[in-house]
Amino acid sequence: MEQQVKRIGVLTSGGDAPGMNAAIRAVVRSAVGRGIDCIGIRRGWNGLINSDFVRMDTSSVSHIINKGGTLLYTARSEEFRTVAGQDKALATCKLLGLDAIVAIGGDGTFRGALDLSRRAAEVDYSLQVVGIPATIDNDIGCTHYTIGFDTACNTAIECIDRLRDTMQSHERCSVVEVMGRHAGYLALSVGISAGATAVLIPERKLDFDRDIVEKIRRARLAGTTHYMVVVAEGAGNTMEISRQIHESIGIDPRVTVLGHIQRGGAPTMQDRETASRMGYGAVQAIAEHRGNCVVATQEGRMVVLEMEAALKMTKELDMGRYRILEALTNNCGAL
């Protein structure tokens, strides 16, 4: 007979993403509603090693659904990668009497969760771990959507809209770097939505003349005097791209690196709602003793996937969306 779940921990790890607080809120309130105690682990896996925790209840997560960042803070931990570090984390789990941990973050967070669960099995300690995907990069293979992506896109679009105003006034070219690590999801979505002249992504090998020079040239022939080039951070060096534009066609680009501003701000409706559903689903999976798993979205549905299998999954950027971008920019004037 399976033992009743009495107490769970929740943590956020890796890069922060808008909507993490909404996920924490959903985990805590869903747990309390089932009569399960909830412990907040501060500063990710590092906090589990160092017994940095706080008891949580429904009131402790009031008024955070609209807040960016993470109430529990986040950090990366090299020590947790070691067996000694995992043993320290398990010691904290035993001390607190945790039956499960909900880990909110990206692939690295999930791999840490899986390592902890394997180590727990080796020392004969029953511990469920459940992952909730949260990263603005949207680059987790097992889920079609990750918490924070929509908010980051909207933040970048707002910044680019403002940049366009000044670029248009001075008849200039703007080269804007957005985040995304080694994936182009953010750059492509932002580029389409902001009406960029060109978008560079890691998934498409750069042909400088085809992807930038010709697009700017066509836009100029169509009457445009200002241009917007969006570059994913993994697609190339933004300063070098700007220099090449200047040398190739004589215009003087201005470089803007949006950076960590994309991680901040109040989460959008999509991120609040998705985070709430995922937080609820994580607690439900724990209550049903689903073991080590990830709560994900596939084809618009919420699904629960076995963690080891989920970490092996990959997804490819839909290049049909890049063709849409090209269709809307080729031979066109101002966008």
Distance CA 109, CA 103 (A): 7
CB 279 within 8 A of CB 22: yes
Q: Catalytic positions, please?
A: 137
Amino acid (one-letter) located at 331: N
Could you give the CA distance from residue 111 to residue 68 in angstroms, rounded to a whole number?
A: 24
Alpha helix ranges (H) inside the chain: 20-33, 44-49, 83-96, 107-122, 149-170, 185-194, 208, 214-221, 238-249, 269-287, 307-312, 319-329
Cβ count near 94 (within 10 Å): 13
Pairwise CA distance, residues 324 & 218, whole Å:
17
Rounded distance, CA 223 to CA 80, Å? Answer: 57
Rounded to 10°, the helix 20-33/269-287 angle is 40
Residue 173 CA to residue 99 CA, distance in Å, equals 56
Provide the CB-side half-sphere exposure for 328 (13 A, CA). 16
Distance from C-alpha of 47 to C-alpha of 49, rounded to nearest angstrom: 5
For strands 100-105 and 254-257, give the pairing: unpaired
Angle of CA points 266, 284, 114, to nearest 5°: 80
111 by DSSP, 3-state: which?
helix
Sign, Cα dihedral of 117, 121, 127, 128: positive
Q: Yes or no: say if 329 and 215 are a contact pair by the CB < 8 Å rule.
A: yes
